[in-house]
Amino acid sequence: MESTLRSQTISIVPSEFKKHYRLSQKCPVCNKQIQFGVELGFLRKIKRYPYPHVILHGNPIHVLIAYIDADFKIRGIETAESIEIQRNSETFSQIIKKWSNPF
């Protein structure tokens, strides 16, 4: 983890945010440029920055974690190739919900 990933508390002014913010980051595992976004509703709830945003993608499936600061800039990244998805109806229904409305 980079030393720039210090936590800080910043209040959000909702009027400064568009409906969806989009970001792009190259994944060091698959070397692909990954596009992603965060829901405004979620941004309004964040109390501490930078916060982790997890992007599940690729074949074989892996994770890119982007740490996003209060200015909606990527402050650092991590990856994970060891993944487990819980096999229960609660998790499955949430995956389908996310799939249909990713952000």
Interatomic CA distance for residues 72 and 83, integer angstroms: 26
Contacts of 44 (CB under 8 A, 6+ apart): 12, 14, 17
The single residue among 5, 12, 23, 30 that binds Zn ion, judged by CB under 5 A, is 30
Question: How far, rounded to the nearest angstrom, does the alpha carbon of residue 42 sit from its chain's CA centroid?
Answer: 11
- From the CB of 94, what's the least distance to Zn ion, in Å? 22
Map residues 38-77 to x or -, x wherever contact with Zn ion holds by CB under 5 A.
--------------------x-------------------
> Cis peptide before 60, with omega less than 30 degrees from 0?
yes
The single residue among 27, 38, 55, 68 that binds Zn ion, judged by CB under 5 A, is 27
Binding residues for Zn ion, rule: CB under 5 A, are 27, 29-30, 58
